[in-house]
Amino acid sequence: MTEIMILGINHKTAPVELREKLSFTESQLTRSLAFCKASCEISEAIILTTCNRTEIYAVGAEPELLQQKVMQLLAEIKEIDTAALRPNLYIYTREKAVEHLFTVTAGLDSMILGETQILGQVKDAYAKGKEAETVGAVFHALFRQAVTAAKRVQTETGINQNAASVSYAAVELAKKIFGRLDNRTVLVLGAGKMSELTLRHLYDQGVKEVIVVNRTKERADKLANCFGGVAEYYENRRECLFKADIVISSTGAPHFILEKEEMAAVMRTRRGKPIFLIDIAVPRDIDPRVNELDNVYLYDIDDLQAVVAANLKDRQHEAVKARHIIREEISHFQSWLKTQEVTPLIAALRHKAETIRLSELDVSLKKLANLSDKEKKHVENLTRAIVNRILKEPVLRIKEFALEDRSEVFVTSLCQLFDLTEELNGHQTDLREEERVVALAEGGRQ
């Protein structure tokens, strides 16, 4: 019986101080995986550690022992009292554990719903486990299916389509207006922290030019230098408005620094060329009536937050679709896992039949010594064909019943009918090794 379990904490169950304490460093991770490899209770292990979560995935034969061992691992490596941690920990087993991994990988358990960074982190965790040789057939199949599910969620739902933060929302709006941003000029009015963040996102999209205007020229210079831009005097802002396509405004001015009349004049000199004004100052820098002008798109901080809120609502909507996909993919994995439970039985049955076939063939061929090589080959093929034909139906049935959770009866009755106890016990260890090889070969083909 293989038992999958997961033990972990995340941003929902623990404050950041605790998450920091449980986060694994590179060397701790290596030591933990080595610990799992050495332990006989844990047959497979993968450790996922990010700034929002630390999760240990493990496979073992005995649920109780497995959990104890994982707790022991945590206590040893992190040198903490695990009993005190108990209220912040969550432990899932079997279907629950599987569902948890799928949900996490698809970004549905993330702080920002639907984010895709976690997928890379899960892949990394899997690679580390593989490197440390703590990944077997079960985790190979499980993680591969989880990654498939996450990719499907990304392509088949719009969960990650819209911006989930104010600065990203600003970038998306800019793209909606200008398409590509690489031939655009950004003007920053007021060199604050928030404007720097928004500027960075725009800069990452490869804007052509950055102009910074600030009351104190030194700060403008500093920010401009960071982005290979130019600093301008506050008095020249009107000329800068003429040149800019995107304006980020966040001065500390107590009143509007840009009135509708002034902007109308700017638009005349711009000959109506579209301009995107992002006013993230509180109190606002730009007269909201400016938005009434043709080809001027003014967004203040509330507008941007409203866009983000609407996007997050959309994401929630898409998450429903995502859960459908996840359920489908989980059932794929579950069927695989269930047929996996009867593979030792099938192998034992095959082994038994093969042994009989070979011994009988040996006896017969000795008696039929005057047969040609070609004829011998035919006889051998005949025996093989008979065995395969006889076993074909029962093997299919066993797999079918396994999917319906009715394989127990078969295991016992087949064991007794064919006297398979010896085969089952004797080859258990070999089989595990065999499974691994098969799984690796499959992995190579993918």
Partner 1 sequence: MINGEFALYILLLCFLFTSAVLFLIDLLGSGKELFVIARRLFFLAFSALTVLIAARAVTYGYFPIFTFYETLLFLAWAVTFVIILLERSYGFRTVFPFAVPALFAVLFFAFFISAERASLPPEYKSIWLFFHIITVIAAYSTFTVAFVTSLMYLSVDNQLKKKKLSALVSKLPSLDVLDHYNYKLVSIGFFLLTISVFLGALWAQNVWGAFWRWEPKEIWALVTWIVYATYLHTRLSGGWQGRRVAMLNACGFATVLFNYFAVRFFFAGGLHQFY
**β-strand partners of 297:** 276
Single out the segment in contact with partner 1 by CB under 8 A; choices: 56-64, 156-164, 323-331, 343-351: 156-164
Q: Binding to partner 1 by residue 291, rule CB under 8 A?
A: yes
Nearer to partner 1, 310 or 438 (CB): 310
Residues 77-136, interacting with partner 1 (CB under 8 A): none
Q: Which stretch binds partner 1 (CB under 8 A): 10-18, 246-254, 272-280, 385-393?
A: 272-280
The one-character DSSP state at 286 is B
Could you tell me the smallest distance in angstroms from the CB atom of residue 158 to partner 1?
6
How many of the chain's residues bind partner 1 (CB under 8 A)? Answer: 27
The only residue of 92, 227, 299, 333 in contact with partner 1, by rule CB under 8 A: 299
By C-beta, is 15 or 274 nearer to partner 1? 274
User: Which position among 36, 108, 173, 202 is part of the footprint of partner 1 (CB under 8 A)?
Assistant: 173
CB of 208 to partner 1, least distance (A): 14
Place of tokens 């101080």: 17
Contact between 147 and 105 (Cβ < 8 Å): yes
- From 12, 117, 127, 179, residue interacting with partner 1 (rule: CB under 8 A): 179
Number of other residues whose CB lies within 10 A of the CB of residue 148: 17
Query: DSSP of 210-264, one letter per residue?
Result: EEEEESSHHHHHHHHHHTT-EEEEGGGHHHHHHH-SEEEE----SS-SB-HHHHH
Phi, psi values for residue 283, rounded to 5°:
-65, 160
Q: Would you name the residues annotated as active-site residues?
A: 51
288 near partner 1 (CB under 8 A): no
**Strand-strand pairing, 3-10 and 53-60:** antiparallel
303 binds partner 1 (CB under 8 A): yes
Backbone dihedral region for residue 227 (phi beyond 0: left; psi -120 to 50: alpha; all else: beta): alpha
Which segments within 102-219 are labelled E, that is strand?
185-189, 209-214
Separation CA 173–CA 381 (nearest Å) = 70
Q: Is 284 in the site for partner 1 (CB under 8 A)?
A: no
Q: CA 228: distance to chain centroid?
A: 35
**List 34, 61, 310, 417, residue binding partner 1 (CB under 8 A):** 310
Q: Which two tokens stand for residue 133?
A: 């040789």
Q: Is there binding between residue 297 and partner 1 (CB under 8 A)?
A: yes
Stretch that binds partner 1, among 39-47, 89-97, 176-184, 219-227 (CB under 8 A): 176-184
Q: Determine, following the binding rule CB under 8 A, whether residue 272 of this chain makes contact with partner 1.
A: yes
Out of 120, 206, 252, 274, the residue judged to bind partner 1 by CB under 8 A: 274
Q: Which residue in 133, 147, 115, 108 sits closest to 46, CA to CA?
A: 133
15: which 2 tokens? Answer: 């404050």
Tokens of 65: 């022992």
Is 307 among the residues that bind partner 1 (CB under 8 A)? yes
Among 235, 294, 404, 405, binds partner 1 (CB under 8 A): 294
| DSSP letters for 391-406 | HHHHHHHHHHHHHTT-
Q: Which residues of 10-21 are buried (b: 16+ CB within 10 A; e: fewer)?
A: beeebeeebbee
Q: In the set 16, 306, 356, 382, which binds partner 1 (CB under 8 A)?
A: 306
Select from 76-84, 290-298, 341-349, 424-432 the region that touches partner 1 (CB under 8 A).
290-298
Should residue 372 be labelled a site residue for partner 1 when binding is judged by CB under 8 A?
no
Smaller CB distance to partner 1: residue 156 or 400?
156
Q: Which of 133, 156, 419, 442 binds partner 1 (CB under 8 A)?
A: 156
CB of 394 to partner 1, least distance (A): 40
* Region of 104-112, 154-162, 342-350, 433-441 interacting with partner 1 (CB under 8 A): 154-162
Question: Is 157 one of the binding residues for partner 1 (CB under 8 A)?
Answer: yes
Stretch that binds partner 1, among 3-11, 289-297, 354-362, 425-433 (CB under 8 A): 289-297
Is beta strand 3-10 parallel, antiparallel or unpaired with respect to 90-93?
A: antiparallel
| Shortest reach from residue 264's CB to partner 1, in Å | 14
Is position 161 an interface residue for partner 1 (rule: CB under 8 A)? yes
Place of tokens 């063939």: 361
SS3 49: strand
CB of 172 to partner 1, least distance (A): 8
3-state secondary structure of 184: coil
CB 152, min distance to partner 1, A: 12
**291: helix, strand or coil:** helix
DSSP code of 288?
A: G
Chain residues 211-270 in contact with partner 1, contact rule CB under 8 A:
none
State the alpha helices, DSSP H only, in 404-420. Answer: 407-418
**Footprint of partner 1 on this chain (CB under 8 A)?**
155-158, 161-162, 173, 175-180, 271-274, 291, 294-295, 297, 299, 303, 306-307, 310, 314
